[in-house]
Amino acid sequence: MNPSVRSLDLLRSSGLRITPQRLAVFESIAGLDHPAVDEIYDHLRHSHPGMSVATVYNTVERLVQEGLVRVIMVEGKRRYDLRLDHHDHLLCQVCHRLEDCPDDCPSAGMTVPQEFLVKGQTWQINQHTVILEGVCPQCMNSQP
Amino acid sequence: MNPSVRSLDLLRSSGLRITPQRLAVFESIAGLDHPAVDEIYDHLRHSHPGMSVATVYNTVERLVQEGLVRVIMVEGKRRYDLRLDHHDHLLCQVCHRLEDCPDDCPSAGMTVPQEFLVKGQTWQINQHTVILEGVCPQCMNSQP
DNA sequence: ATCATTGCAAATGATTTGCATTCGC
DNA sequence: GCGAATGCAAATCATTTGCAATGAT
């Protein structure tokens, strides 16, 4: 699959050097569904022999720094997402699939103030994470 | 500190064998604030020399299985909580303190249905996790 | 040519596992 | 005494780090 112009543009606009590895990692995140590093690495094994896991870790970290992708910590593993706006996630406890919560999600409307008073003292809130855990439709069907 | 009658009762009621290590781990979780395994272990080092980390892992895992404590996955680490009812958490990104969200928390009123329709297919939802991340009052004061 | 990026291998941190010994019941 | 629980050490999994070689600009 050729790198999309969009990927190239995004990478370039961030000022990062364009390397085949970076392009590949970026497009993997776009193509896979909330992948973790090992999934990205496995995905690229055949198309990019010689690619190192360390490079995947590096790249993914740079992409996060540049604000091109987002991390979601799930089950002790970092997973990566191209969507940058806040949204909640659905996690399948069986197959570990992670999916974006649709906008009519019960938690989607929740707003969190930037400051929050707890026991008379102020917390500054920077972000919040909502994960709904359960069983996805596929796993529901295969193991009733 | 002597084991409280309550701890003993709780452990006994679950059918678990009462060992000094179990009692100690259970009371550590009660005494510390959302501790991770290493904090429990450090806490018990002096009072229980010879106690193994593996035992702490074992014990904590059994306590979760028996429904006596709850795990919260935070920053790639399991942390343990005696409160069993659903409640949200506040995480300090500076000192990594984890605190229960008070009941007037913006997310506290949120209810999540047991079944949830996504793209025409049904997810079964078992639980949900809400973590508000930011800076705690103490860290706010010490680093402005 | 310069300096960021890569690849490899060794290191770290959290957690798990195997197994012989110990101890609650 | 029996079987579950413990302690220890080695193993595993995710991630990080050090460093020499490579390659994008």
pLDDT score recorded for residue B129: 93
Distance CA A3, CA A24 (A): 8
Q: In the predicted model, what is the mean pLDDT of chain B?
A: 92
Is residue A68 scored above 90 in pLDDT?
yes
For residues A19-43, average pLDDT: 97
Distances from the Cα of B99 to the Cαs of A88, A97, A132, B78, B91, in angstroms? 21, 28, 20, 14, 7
For residues B100-125, average pLDDT: 87
pLDDT score recorded for residue A126: 94
A134 touches B119 (CB < 8 A): no
**Chain segment A82-125, per-residue pLDDT in tens:** 999 999 999 999 999 999 998 877 777 788 889 989 999 999 99
Would you kindly state where each structural domain of chain B is located, as residue ranges?
5-81, 89-142
> Terminus-to-terminus CA distance in chain A, angstroms?
38
**Sign, CA torsion B49/B54/B55/B61:** positive
The amino acid sitting at B10 is L
All residues of chain B having their beta carbon less than 8 Å from the beta carbon of residue A127 are 132-134
All residues of chain B having their beta carbon less than 8 Å from the beta carbon of residue A121 are 137
DSSP state of B19: -
Confidence class for position B6, pLDDT limits 50, 70, 90: confident
pLDDT score recorded for residue A5: 80
- Rounded to 5°, the CA angle B33-A76-B54 comes to 65
pLDDT score recorded for residue B4: 73
pLDDT score recorded for residue A1: 55
- Taking the C1' atom of every nucleotide in all shown strands and the CA of A22, the nearest one is C5
Which secondary-structure segment (H or E) carries A125? strand A121-135
Q: Using CB atoms, pick whichever of A75, A93, A124 lies closest to residue B134.
A: A124
Is residue B109 scored above 80 in pLDDT?
no
Confidence class for position A7, pLDDT limits 50, 70, 90: confident
Distance CA B107, CA A128 (A): 10
Confidence class for position A14, pLDDT limits 50, 70, 90: confident
Instruction: Describe chain B by its helix, strand, coil percentages, rounded to 5.
Output: 35, 25, 40
Q: Using CB atoms, pick whichever of A90, A93, A130 lies closest to residue B118.
A: A90
- The C1' atom of C22 and the CA atom of B19 lie apart, in whole Å, by 12
**Percentage of the residues of chain A whose pLDDT score is greater than 90:** 77
Closest among B124, B91, B130 to B110, alpha carbons compared:
B130
**Chain segment B50-61, per-residue pLDDT in tens:** 999 999 999 999
Min Cα separation B47/chain A (Å): 30
Class of domain B5-81: mainly alpha
Distance CA A27, CA A45 (A): 14
What pTM value is reported for the model? 0.91
A27 touches A3 (CB < 8 A): yes
Is residue B122 scored above 70 in pLDDT?
yes
Q: Testing the interface with A: which of B70, B79, B129 to mutate, by most A Cβ within 10 A?
A: B129
List bases, strand C, within 7 Å of protein CB: 4-10, 14-18, 23-25
Q: Using CB atoms, pick whichever of A113, A122, A137 lies closest to residue B106.
A: A113
Is residue A63 scored above 90 in pLDDT?
yes
All residues of chain A having their beta carbon less than 8 Å from the beta carbon of residue B77 are 76
* Residue in the block written with tokens 């990927």: A7
Q: In the predicted model, what is the mean pLDDT of chain A?
A: 92
